[in-house]
Structure 1
Amino acid sequence: MDFNRSILENRRAKGRPFLAAHRGVNGANIPCNTLAAYRIAVDQGADVVEIDVTKSLDGEFFVFHPYMEPVYLKCGKLIPEMTAEEVRNTPLLNQDEVPTHYRVPTLQETLALLKDKAYINVDKFWTDPEGISDQIRRAGVEKQVIVKAGVDESSLALVEKYASDLMFCALVWHKDEVSEMLLERKINYIGTEALFDRDSDEIVSDPYIRWMHEHDLLVWVNSIVYNEAEIISAGHTDDISLTEDPEKGWGWLLDRQVDFIQTDWLLALKGYMEKRG
């Protein structure tokens, strides 16, 4: 990937949607959101690696999904209640809840690992736009980072203030009523993360996606399932693709001509796309 070119140019050159690895590629003894999970994602062909950001009690940024400490650490504390030293000394658990040698990586370690290797979707950016933007610049990965946030005025003002040069993707449910406005803002607006619970939602309609492409904008969709009660792709998921028919999941998303698919099953999706042609 040539990060001196725009993401739009790279998408066109790719000729297929970018594959985004949700929290890296993990399983068995390798926990998610670890340097190992990110290395595997890159090695398996991820175009984008999604990471989550949190901050310790004494202000150091780590890569970990907020509020998942009871699942992956079981240490009785949240990372914002722990010092950086405590975080470094706490083992992550594997899928059987057995302690491993893996530790929660710092944001700087993660950005250094991914530099010049893949686009980086920094999730939870809205929790500290100023501090996280500073970390991104310190690591020298400005051309690789995609940040996301809602489209309320307070969020957009923070993006303009601290991250106007970083690629910005708007979180939008059902219908896009913000793209024209965002194109006028002092924001490096690249497109929407389309969240939908019905096939008929405008945000995944052919006319909408065609309009986005005509305006040099991109559309991100998700096939991940992180909570069965939260429907973000109208059932066109990794699960249905793997357990029933990939045409019902990944195939449906590909037929929409989207630009990113975020998955927890990178190799399976990649193999399906190669077979489908």
Structure 2
Amino acid sequence: MKNTLHLYNNDNVQVVAHRGAAGSNIPCNTIPAFDIALKGGASILEMDLFKSTDGKIFIFHTGKEPYQLNKNIDLTKLDSEEIKKLRLINVDFNPTQWGINSFDDVLEHFKGRCILNLDRIGDCIPDVINVVERHNMKDQVLLKHAPIPSVLKIIEDVAPDYMFMPIYMEEDNVSEIIEKMNINYIGAELVFKTEESPVIQPEYIESMKKRGKTLWGNAVLYNYKIPLSAGHTDDVSIIDDPDKGWGWLVDHGFDIIQTDWTYQCCKYLKDRGINH
């Protein structure tokens, strides 16, 4: 098992910037948003990928086109030249100067700077790996996906030595299967609705730690009706008390926290003496 998550930092708890640090006139999933997140202390950048009709990889969370482009279109039905002409909108639905970044541009911009978590890649894993290999950036890439058998097989076939984290929803039924495969299984994202969920019980956390697994927790709250961490969220951390959100995740054994409030989360971890 090769784990390069600490390649560029020594943080005890690493902070992942969910789609970068966006707001006002800076759209998420863009190079400016990612740059701001790194300046705020993030050590890992989470980003969403998709493939154009002519096989080019771009950064965007498909399905969000009406809210980020003010257009009812499907980016996966466009070719790369059409995509390059588009401009993202800001929080007031006004056009910005920012376009949709290609994966090539993002890789080159962040080469040698941080870890990149690639999300929503199930439909284009071989293409994504080809681009990463072209830039010689394997050690900077973390792949994360639901442990679907078809996806696990693709990972084993085309990216066996890339860092991989399955996403366990409520319980873990596949660790033993993955550990028997030729996959660089470094840890897991744990998603749990309540504090009674199997994946957040002390016995399970301890067993994962003993096997050297890195645990990823989500403070992100993209839908308050769908809890990812039993209510220990960014919102609680920002509005009420960070000990109830980010702190709770740290105290329960998480090595990574994904957040939409990068600077504030990083500051909290430093103020508490967890990171330096």
What is the distance in 2 between the residues matched to 1:154 and 1:205?
Answer: 29
Shift in Å, 1:202:
2.2
Q: How many residues align?
A: 272
Q: How does 1:64-103 map to 2 (within 5 A)?
A: 64-103=60-99
**Which secondary structure state, in structure 1, belongs to the residue aligned with residue 188 of structure 2?**
strand
What is the distance in 2 between the residues matched to 1:275 and 1:152?
Answer: 39
Q: How does 1:7-18 map to 2 (within 5 A)?
A: 7=3, 10=6, 14=10, 16-18=12-14
Indicate which of 93, 101, 104 corresponds to 1:105.
101
**Which secondary structure state, in structure 1, belongs to the residue aligned with residue 113 of structure 2?**
coil
Aligned to 2:222: 226
Gaps of 5+ in 1: none
What is the distance in 2 between the residues matched to 1:15 and 1:45?
Answer: 10
Is the CA contact 1:179–1:191 (under 8 Å) kept in the aligned structure 2? no
Q: Structure 2-normalised TM-score? A: 0.94
- The one-letter amino acid paired with 2:234 is D
What is the distance in 1 between the residues matched to 2:100 and 2:5?
Answer: 34
What is the distance in 2 between the residues matched to 1:65 and 1:152?
Answer: 20
Aligned to 1:171: 167
Shift in Å, 1:83:
2.1
Relative to structure 1, the CA distance from residue 36 to residue 268 in structure 2 (aligned partners, 3 Å threshold; closer, same or farther) is: same
2:165 corresponds to 1:197 = no
**Which secondary structure state, in structure 1, belongs to the residue aligned with residue 131 of structure 2?**
helix
Q: Which moved more, 1:249-258 or 1:147-156?
A: 147-156
What is the distance in 2 between the residues matched to 1:144 and 1:15?
Answer: 16
Q: Which moved more, 1:201-210 or 1:44-53?
A: 201-210
2:234 corresponds to 1:250 = no
Aligned to 1:150: 146
**Which secondary structure state, in structure 2, belongs to the residue aligned with residue 154 of structure 1?**
helix
Deviation readout 1:47-67 (Å, 9 max, x if unpaired) = 100010012222211100011
Is the CA contact 2:14–2:43 (under 8 Å) kept in the aligned structure 1? yes
Aligned to 2:208: 212
2:85 corresponds to 1:60 = no
Aligned to 2:45: 49
Q: Structure 1-normalised TM-score? A: 0.93
What is the distance in 1 between the residues matched to 2:148 and 2:49?
Answer: 21
Shift in Å, 1:76:
3.1
What is the distance in 2 between the residues matched to 1:133 and 1:43?
Answer: 27
Relative to structure 1, the CA distance from residue 177 to residue 46 in structure 2 (aligned partners, 3 Å threshold; closer, same or farther) is: same
Deviation readout 1:108-131 (Å, 9 max, x if unpaired) = 111111211111100012121111
Gaps of 5+ in 2: none
Shift in Å, 1:97:
0.7
Q: Which has the higher contact order (CA 8 A, sep 6+)?
A: 2
What is the distance in 2 between the residues matched to 1:152 and 1:122?
Answer: 16
Indicate which of 105, 113, 122 corresponds to 1:117.
113
Shift in Å, 1:8:
6.5
**Which secondary structure state, in structure 2, belongs to the residue aligned with residue 93 of structure 1?**
coil
Identity of aligned residues (%): 35
Relative to structure 1, the CA distance from residue 187 to residue 28 in structure 2 (aligned partners, 3 Å threshold; closer, same or farther) is: same
**Which secondary structure state, in structure 1, belongs to the residue aligned with residue 97 of structure 2?**
strand
Relative to structure 1, the CA distance from residue 135 to residue 8 in structure 2 (aligned partners, 3 Å threshold; closer, same or farther) is: closer
Aligned to 2:177: 181
- The one-letter amino acid paired with 1:91 is R
**Which secondary structure state, in structure 1, belongs to the residue aligned with residue 143 of structure 2?**
strand
**Which secondary structure state, in structure 1, belongs to the residue aligned with residue 172 of structure 2?**
coil
**Which secondary structure state, in structure 1, belongs to the residue aligned with residue 164 of structure 2?**
strand
- The one-letter amino acid paired with 1:98 is N
Is the CA contact 2:17–2:42 (under 8 Å) kept in the aligned structure 1? yes
Is the CA contact 1:126–1:148 (under 8 Å) kept in the aligned structure 2? no
**Which secondary structure state, in structure 2, belongs to the residue aligned with residue 127 of structure 1?**
coil
2:236 corresponds to 1:240 = yes
Aligned to 2:155: 159
Aligned to 1:134: 130
